[in-house]
Amino acid sequence: MPAFFSRQLHSTLIILGLAGYTLAKEMPDTTLNTKLSSLTESGPSPLLAQAMFAGPAPGLAADSNLLGVFNVYSNIINPSISDKENSASWNYLESYLRHASMLDPYFYDVYRLSSGLLAFQSEHTRDAITIMKHGAEYRPWDWETPLIAGFLAHDLLQDNRLAFDLMKLATSRPGAPPLAIGLAARFLADAEDNKTGLQFLHYMKSIMPKGYAKPIDERIKKLEQEWGTEP
């Protein structure tokens, strides 16, 4: 080894290392892109494995699943992907949301994305509503999630029985708007008959705070005129 290199070995190694590292950094890294793409395409890890790995911090695992949703959605909106890839991506998106809701059932962003993204994909509407129903059971202060889920069940699934159950859940929550009561009555009437819908409204009037009585009365009056039915 030349004397210069043996004396300045550490400086030589640092300079060579820095040069190699900088050059490599500037090169386009296709390997990384492939890896990230395959990571997104593989979907979330099994729920139990995630729970084990997260241990006492399942909330963070739920957060990471939500980042997975953003990742998959960026794939979905890419116009160049095939229908097969698109369908697989929606399945992964559903899995990410479901896992996030199982790991942290109080996480509101999960239900916001379930209603805003997943529900409008016809194959996954029922999945989205199931996720929202699961969240509504854990969040006793939240009337919005069951109300939106109920409306989606009526509008997208035409399942008025499910829509009524969810709307009824929403009406039992503090601060739920009278609109929820009216919608619940309408869905019940569609699922059963007009008389049952009006009976539900009378029942709600009897158990709700007095402030709700006026809008419920107005609703009863309107529906009686519309349906011509006496409870």
Partner 1 sequence: MNSIWQTTRFTLLEIFNMRAFQLLVLIALVLLPLAATVFSNLFLLDIGKVRMDILIAGNRIIASLYILVIAVMLMANDISKGMIHLFLTPPSSRREYLIGRFFGLLTGLAIILLAASIGGEAVLGLTFSEKDPIYRHGLEQGDGVLLALFTFYQHISILAAALFICTWATSMAEMFVFSSCILMLAWTLPPVLNAMQTTEVLQRTPEWIASLLKSTSYFLPNLNGSEIGLALAHGLPLESVWPHIAEHTGYALLMLGLALFSLSRRDL
* Interface pattern 167-206 for partner 1 (x via CB under 8 A): ----------------------------------------
Contact pick of 9, 16, 39, 52 for partner 1 (by CB under 8 A): 52
Question: In the window 107-146, what residues touch partner 1 (CB under 8 A)?
Answer: 107-109, 112-113
44 binds partner 1 (CB under 8 A): no
Residue 182: both structure tokens together: 């009216």
CA distances from residue 211 to 183, 200, 215 in whole angstroms, order as listed: 18, 18, 8
Contact pick of 24, 48, 77, 207 for partner 1 (by CB under 8 A): 48
Nearest CA among 171, 160, 88, 165 for reference residue 124: 88
Q: Which long-range contacts (CB under 8 A, 24 or more apart) does 131-135 make?
A: 131/97, 131/98, 131/101, 132/166, 133/166, 134/101, 134/102, 134/105, 135/101, 135/105, 135/106, 135/107, 135/108, 135/110, 135/111
Contact pick of 43, 58, 178, 182 for partner 1 (by CB under 8 A): 58
**Dihedrals φ, ψ of 51, to 5°?**
-65, -40
d(CA 29, CA 33): 7
21 binds partner 1 (CB under 8 A): no
Identify which of residues 127 and 165 has a Cβ nearer to partner 1 in the complex: 127
Identify which of residues 60 and 191 has a Cβ nearer to partner 1 in the complex: 60
Contact pick of 40, 41, 45, 54 for partner 1 (by CB under 8 A): 54
* Interface pattern 65-84 for partner 1 (x via CB under 8 A): -xx--x--------------
Q: C-beta of 112: minimal distance to partner 1 in Å?
A: 6
d(CA 74, CA 114): 16
d(CA 231, CA 17): 85
- By CB under 8 A, name the binding residues for partner 1: 48, 51-60, 62-63, 66-67, 70, 104, 106-109, 112-113
